[in-house]
A and B are shown apart, each in its own frame.
Chain A
């Protein structure tokens, strides 16, 4: 964290490697959604237009698979980064869901409903970030596995009967829809419409958030930085 940032009241929340991983994930998920839903809803005229834009149903599949391979590579890289890099290891530790997150969630519910007086203070990652992170990770793993099964359908059919592949299609499509809707809505609220960040939390591009915002939304992280003498 540079002195200039601190002087301007900013702290780094997303380092460059994470910003790159996040941006790649965002672009690839968008490509996968556009090519995937065009096939899933092929009777829709917008979907048909999309398939034409994507160069026909065959090229659509190629684009979808290239994006999928890049996404899986991004995921593998991320796993290694979180497990073995100097920056990743402490991040991963802070992302584990603990009993405290469940309590925080219930506490915030009670607070929001008016039966509790204290809103739970969050550390670097609150329950919202953690649920989103692990939900997306599980979703991507599931959708990657079913996608690989469908890609190598002749190999899959050697191992599984036909109805397993039918199941894979169902899971792949619906899981994609679920992930897309959750990511869309969740980001729309937490990154754009949430009053503390409206119109957008720029940290996914600049990596920085204001010290004021950190104190408000992640007070425990703020305290910690203060104790460490960073702030």
Chain B
């Protein structure tokens, strides 16, 4: 499937070459020749849909980017004569970016991961709106992901994804994660924090990090970490209490319909419980529970949801559990004592009879 997707993509891009084939060095064209036309600031093209495509490029365009030392035709290698008679094709990053390349590009399988992802499959199926590498990483101004200026840096990636996923981006921006990110809190997850980077799958795909049975695991990566949650005064017991609950147990054993974290807390629109818009605000709890439990009433909001019977704060639940614990221990001790006493007494009785 992965190979087929790869072949299909290459076919769709109209590119016959295979990665790794040496390029014809003589085909390289100097920057000066390109900037004869592209160096004019007014060099642009009116597209069919009325948009203007800026075609202005100078020697500084690649400066500072990871491709600072590359020339135009290193990527636009289908341009072999100037002026080019046809519009150059979209750049194919796989020309250099594959494991085992000799061009000095990072050795990584990210490109294969991409072809297997929801985006790569959409491209293979002919969806021209699906993103290629450059749609997320940028065209000329590509920076390393760690660089805060990069389009795929943690602080920027939500905006980058939001170019296409506009509604979700709007929801995310209003969520606790989105607002925290805007404040510059770097621990907070952006899109890729939950969905993955290149291995993004549809939420209905069992491989996805956000498939129903994987959601709690994904959230608990941060929410069970005292090191991260401690900084913000958020409790970590929620993960453990969920796992102990009927919902958590059913989820661990593969139920896909049972509630996971996001069933109650929301997905992109997660808000703190004291926010009136939060799905877990006490006023909204009956409605949220009612998604699965028809006729849910305010009773659902009476009593802690993430309850831990081992903690004193749980009140009557803690005391009942403690009572039963000692009742069981006491009964067992009494029974065992009784059994031994009975045996001892019986031995005496038999001895007496003799």
Q: Do A and B bind each other?
A: yes
Question: In residues 271-327 of chain B, which contact A (Cβ within 8 Å)?
Answer: 293-297, 299-305, 307, 309, 316-317, 320-321, 324-325, 327
Q: Is the interface of A mostly helix, strand, loop or mixed?
A: helix
Q: CB-defined interface of A143-169 with B at 8 Å, one 1/0 digit per residue?
A: 000000000011001111111101100
B214–chain A nearest beta-carbon distance, Å = 17
A158–B299 touching, CB < 8 Å:
yes
Bound complex: CA A74 to CA B342 (Å): 32
Q: Is the interface of B mostly helix, strand, loop or mixed?
A: helix
B255–A58 touching, CB < 8 Å:
yes
Name the B residues within 8 Å of A154 (CB-CB). Answer: 293-296
Which among B15-23, B46-54, B94-102, B345-353 touches the partner chain? Answer: B345-353
B70–chain A nearest beta-carbon distance, Å = 54
Instruction: Say yes or no: is A51 at the interface (Cβ < 8 Å to chain B).
Output: yes
A186–chain B nearest beta-carbon distance, Å = 7
Instruction: Say yes or no: is B343 at the interface (Cβ < 8 Å to chain A).
Output: yes
Q: Quick one: closest B residue to A185, CB to CB? A: B335
Bound complex: CA A177 to CA B332 (Å): 11
B344–chain A nearest beta-carbon distance, Å = 6
Q: CB-defined interface of A31-71 with B at 8 Å, one 1/0 digit per residue?
A: 00000000100100000000100001110000000000000
Instruction: Say yes or no: is B179 at the interface (Cβ < 8 Å to chain A).
Output: no
B138–chain A nearest beta-carbon distance, Å = 47
B300–A57 touching, CB < 8 Å:
no
Which among A76-84, A112-120, A220-228 touches the partner chain? Answer: A112-120
B316–A51 touching, CB < 8 Å:
no
Name the B residues within 8 Å of A161 (CB-CB). Answer: 299, 302-303
Bound complex: CA A114 to CA B349 (Å): 10
B299–A42 touching, CB < 8 Å:
no
Supposing A51-B253, A157-B297, A162-B303 touch, asked if A177 and B328 sit within 8 A by C-beta, the answer is yes
Q: Quick one: closest A residue to B307, CB to CB? A: A166
A206–chain B nearest beta-carbon distance, Å = 24
A163–B304 touching, CB < 8 Å:
yes
Instruction: Say yes or no: is B202 at the interface (Cβ < 8 Å to chain A).
Output: no
Say which residue of B324, B325, B341 sits within 8 Å of A171 (CB atoms): B324
Bound complex: CA A58 to CA B343 (Å): 45
Name the B residues within 8 Å of A39 (CB-CB). Answer: 249
Bound complex: CA A167 to CA B318 (Å): 9
B345–A108 touching, CB < 8 Å:
yes
Instruction: Say yes or no: is A141 at the interface (Cβ < 8 Å to chain B).
Output: no
Instruction: Say yes or no: is A203 at the interface (Cβ < 8 Å to chain B).
Output: no
Q: Quick one: closest A residue to B343, CB to CB? A: A195
Name the B residues within 8 Å of A96 (CB-CB). Answer: none
Bound complex: CA A158 to CA B253 (Å): 28
Name the B residues within 8 Å of A170 (CB-CB). Answer: 309, 317, 320-321, 324
Instruction: Say yes or no: is B252 at the interface (Cβ < 8 Å to chain A).
Output: yes
Instruction: Say yes or no: is A106 at the interface (Cβ < 8 Å to chain B).
Output: no
Instruction: Say yes or no: is A133 at the interface (Cβ < 8 Å to chain B).
Output: no
B327–A56 touching, CB < 8 Å:
no
Name the A residues within 8 Å of B254 (CB-CB). Answer: 56-57
Bound complex: CA A182 to CA B255 (Å): 34
B321–A174 touching, CB < 8 Å:
yes
Q: Quick one: closest A residue to B345, CB to CB? A: A112
Supposing A119-B349, A163-B317, A166-B307 touch, asked if A42 and B252 sit within 8 A by C-beta, the answer is yes
B303–A166 touching, CB < 8 Å:
yes
A174–B325 touching, CB < 8 Å:
yes
A–B complex contacts, Cβ < 8 Å, 7 sampled: A51-B253, A112-B344, A158-B297, A167-B316, A167-B320, A174-B327, A182-B332
Not counting A57-B254, A113-B345, A195-B346, a sample of 5 additional A-B residue pairs whose C-beta atoms are within 8 angstroms of each other reads A51-B253, A58-B250, A111-B345, A158-B295, A166-B307
- List the 4 closest A-B pairs by CB distance, nearest first: A163-B303, A112-B345, A161-B302, A174-B324
